[in-house]
Amino acid sequence: MKPSPVSRERVAHLVMLPLRHRPVYASSVLAPRRAHPHQTASNGSTSTSASDESAGHGRHRAEHAQENGFRAWWTRKLVHEWPAAVHTQWTQLGAPTAPAWQQSVHSRGTAVLARLPWEETLAKHLDHPDALVLYHPARVESRSAERQLVGLLRERLVFHQRWRKYTACGLPASVAAGIFPGPNLPLLYNAFRVYSHHVATEHLTATLALLSSKSPPLRCEPIADLDAVAHVTQTWVGHPTGMAPPLSTDWLEQVLPPDVDQKVLITELARAVAQEQHRLSRSPSSGATTHPELGRHRGGRSLHSEPAATVGPAPLSPKSSTGADGSADASTRS
Q: How confident is the model at residue 209 (pLDDT cuts 50, 70, 90)?
A: very high
Those residues whose C-beta lies under 8 Å from the C-beta of residue 208, and which sit 6 or more positions away, are 150, 153, 154, 157
> Strand 11-18 to strand 131-137: parallel, antiparallel, or no bridges (unpaired)?
parallel
Per cent of the chain over pLDDT 90 is: 28
Written as one string, the DSSP assignment of 78-144 is IIIIHHHHHHHHHHHHTSTTS-HHHHHHHHHHHHHHHTS-HHHHHHHH--S-SEEEEEEETTS-HHH
- Of residues 266 and 110, the one with the higher pLDDT is 266
Give the pLDDT score at 8: 57
Instruction: Evaluate if pTM is beyond 0.75.
Output: no
* Predicted local confidence at residue 79, as pLDDT: 64
Say what the pLDDT of residue 131 is: 94
CA–CA distance, 129 with 114 (Å, rounded to integer): 24
Instruction: Return the pLDDT at 139.
Output: 94
Residue 290 pLDDT exceeds 60: no
pLDDT at residue number 80:
67
* CA 307 to the chain's CA centroid: 28
Give 246's pLDDT tier (boundaries 50, 70, 90).
confident
pLDDT greater than 70 at residue 234: yes
| pLDDT tens digit sequence for 132-173 | 999 999 999 999 999 999 999 999 999 999 999 999 999 888
Q: What is the mean pLDDT of residues 12-16?
A: 94
For residue 36, which amino acid is it?
A: H
Kindly report, residue by residue over 21-64, the tens digit of the pLDDT: 889 999 988 765 444 444 444 444 444 444 444 444 444 444 44
Question: Tens digit of pLDDT for each residue in 93-122?
Answer: 888 898 888 888 888 887 877 788 999 999
Output phi, psi for 23, to 5 deg.
-80, 155
Burial bucket for residue 242 (CB in 10 Å: 0-12, 13-18, 19+): exposed
Averaged confidence pLDDT in the chain = 74
